[in-house]
């Protein structure tokens, strides 16, 4: 698979896992998931993980995957590389829910490390959601996962995700949508 092809497949297949974080930033607010509970004197997750942000994030990612499935027959002949197979029904949920779960797990880890809400943890912040989104979709749709995420595509995902994450967060910060630039 040539690099351009791997880039197209990686971006297309991961879009439903990329969008939930951004949707959560826009939708966030209201009751936190942990209900204010603490563990060892620190919040379980913190005020940055809310029900509303999580539900809207998952819905946005699932909706986008449905739209991409609809667009696929139209766009496939137009793009310079074959698009991946349509998203199976299980991955419509697994990709965005995995992304949100990865982000939530990272907050759990950050609180245990004594880092307050909003503190950066380079590496974990950029890849948490991708790892869990990939793992969950591999679990629910192993055939689609195997056909889509060839080794070259996985490498591209691990390279472009941190770049996209840092860029979109910097934009969200510049637009005052987010309180920290990471």
**Taking CB under 6 A as the rule, which mask of x and - marks residues 52-81 in contact with ligand CTP?**
-xx---------------------------
Decide whether 49 or 83 has the Cβ nearer to ligand CTP.
49
User: Is residue 118 at the binding interface for ligand CTP, with CB under 6 A as the rule?
Assistant: yes
CA atoms within 13 A of residue 24's CA, in its CB half-sphere: 26
Candidates 78-86, 87-95, 114-122, 131-139: pick the segment binding ligand CTP (CB under 6 A).
114-122
- The beta-strand segments (E) located in 32-84 are 38-39, 42-43
Q: What b-and-e string marks burial along 106-136, b requiring 16 or more CB atoms within 10 Å of the CB?
A: bbbebbeeeeebeeeeeebbbbbbbbbbbeb
**Residue 48 found at the interface with ligand CTP (CB under 6 A):** yes
Binding piece for ligand CTP, criterion CB under 6 A, among 48-56, 88-96, 134-142, 150-158: 48-56
**Among positions 7, 14, 25, 99, the unique one binding ligand CTP when judged by CB under 6 A:** 25
Q: How many angstroms separate the most distant Cα atoms in the chain?
A: 56
Q: State the DSSP H helix or E strand holding residue 113, giving kind and residue range, or none if neither.
A: none
Q: Which residues contact ligand CTP (rule: CB under 6 A)?
A: 24-25, 28, 46, 48-50, 53-54, 100, 103-104, 107, 110, 117-119, 178
């Amino acid at each position: 698979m040539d690099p351009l092809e791997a880039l197209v497949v990686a971006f297309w297949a991961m879009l439903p896992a990329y969008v939930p974080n951004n949707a959560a930033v826009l939708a966030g607010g209201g009751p936190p998931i942990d209900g204010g509970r603490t563990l060892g004197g620190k919040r379980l997750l913190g005020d940055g993980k809310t029900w509303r942000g999580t539900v809207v994030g998952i819905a946005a990612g699932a909706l986008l995957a449905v739209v991409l499935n609809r667009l696929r027959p139209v766009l496939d002949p137009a793009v310079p590389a074959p698009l991946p197979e349509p998203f199976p029904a299980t991955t419509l949920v697994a990709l965005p829910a995995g992304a949100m779960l990865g982000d939530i797990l990272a907050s759990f880890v950050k609180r245990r490390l004594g880092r307050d809400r909003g503190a950066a943890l380079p590496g974990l912040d950029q890849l948490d959601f991708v790892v869990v989104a990939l793992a969950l979709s591999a679990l629910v749709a192993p055939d689609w996962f195997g056909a889509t995420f060839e080794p070259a595509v996985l490498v591209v995902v691990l390279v472009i995700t941190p770049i996209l994450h840092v860029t979109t967060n910097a934009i969200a910060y510049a637009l005052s949508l987010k309180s920290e630039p990471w």
